[in-house]
Amino acid sequence: MQVSSDLTKGLKIIEPFLNKHDFEFKNQEDFKSPTSYFLLTKYQKGRREFILGYHCSIGQVVYQYDKFAVSHDFYLDKLGFSKEKQFQDIQTEYKFLAFENLLHDFNFLVDDFFAGECIRLKEIAILQDNIIKEYDKKARNGYNIEFDKLRIDKARQEFKNKNYKKCLELYRSVESVDLINDLDRRIIEFGENKIK
């Protein structure tokens, strides 16, 4: 396949650097679907892994130490090299530019990841995880609020239909209790009195 062939040629650009720093090829996994083909390549040195995802170009670059993992861009940005980095996960006519740019950026990671103790990687990975968790929490809260609004509307409909038990069940399932207003509280009180 062309994807596999291009990846093999691209890896030849960065492998001398990886080998120089004692990283050895670990494995390559392929993920196929009816519409795409994706390869994940891993190199390892002790407890460190360099992970590269490839489709038509490099799509994912991750540095991992034990359970701590951080993406290429976030790592370099937090190390203070956002203006100096060259790798960007955009496709160009020249398929191997991404590998050349990645090789350039490796030089910023020698002291911490390739030859160091991964001290900064651990700190940055925790920061990245916290940002992702906070974003996920906010996104979930946004969805929960919308679902709670739907539950309240449905509870009001059940009340109108005199299905007080179902009405109360729906109100109890509302997580964002600040959405329950005075009208809803009167409905709940009325419903509770009706099913006693």
pLDDT in tens, 43-93: 999 999 999 998 888 888 999 999 999 999 999 999 999 999 999 866 666
What is the band of 137 on the pLDDT scale with cuts at 50, 70, 90?
Answer: confident
> 112-130: b or e for each residue (b if 16 or more CB lie within 10 Å)?
bbbeeebebbbebbeebee
Phi then psi for residue 38, to 5 deg, are -130, 135
What pLDDT, on the 0 to 100 scale, is given for residue 182? Answer: 92
In a domain, 20, yes or no: yes
Average pLDDT of the chain, as a whole number: 89
What pLDDT, on the 0 to 100 scale, is given for residue 29? Answer: 87
In a domain, 125, yes or no: no
Is residue 92 located within the same domain as residue 145?
no
- Spatial CB neighbours of 118, under 8 Å, sequence gap ≥ 6: 48, 65, 68, 112
Encoded tokens for 119: 């001290």
Is residue 112 located within the same domain as residue 152?
no
In a domain, 126, yes or no: no
Is residue 89 located within the same domain as residue 161?
no
**What's the domain range around 169?**
135-195
Strand partners, 99: none
Is residue 94 located within the same domain as residue 146?
no
Which of 62, 85, 117 terminates a domain? The answer is 117
In a domain, 127, yes or no: no
Number of structural domains, the chain?
2
Is it the case that residue 1 has pLDDT exceeding 70?
no
Is residue 8 located within the same domain as residue 102?
yes
Is residue 172 located within the same domain as residue 91?
no
105 within 8 A of 87, measured Cβ to Cβ: yes
What pLDDT, on the 0 to 100 scale, is given for residue 90? Answer: 64
Is residue 52 located within the same domain as residue 140?
no
Is it the case that residue 163 has pLDDT exceeding 80?
yes
In a domain, 40, yes or no: yes
> Of all residues in the chain, what percent carry a pLDDT higher than 70?
94
In a domain, 29, yes or no: yes
In a domain, 128, yes or no: no
What pLDDT, on the 0 to 100 scale, is given for residue 188? Answer: 92
Encoded tokens for 37: 């083909």
In a domain, 44, yes or no: yes
What pLDDT, on the 0 to 100 scale, is given for residue 128? Answer: 93
Encoded tokens for 191: 């419903």
Is residue 47 located within the same domain as residue 96?
yes
pTM, full prediction: 0.70
Which of 59, 82, 117 terminates a domain? The answer is 117
Q: Categorise residue 14: left if φ over 0, alpha if ψ from -120 to 50, beta otherwise.
A: alpha
pLDDT in tens, 86-136: 998 666 667 899 999 999 999 999 999 999 999 999 999 999 999 888 887
Is residue 83 located within the same domain as residue 7?
yes
Task: Select the more confidently predicted residue: 32 or 54.
Answer: 54
Phi then psi for residue 69, to 5 deg, are -135, 140
Is it the case that residue 149 has pLDDT exceeding 90?
no
Give the H or E element holding residue 48: strand 48-54
Q: What is the mean pLDDT of residues 152-179?
A: 90
Query: β-strand 24-32 against 37-45: which pairing, if any?
Result: antiparallel
Is residue 26 located within the same domain as residue 82?
yes
Give the H or E element holding residue 73: helix 72-79
- Spatial CB neighbours of 168, under 8 Å, sequence gap ≥ 6: 155, 188, 191, 192, 195
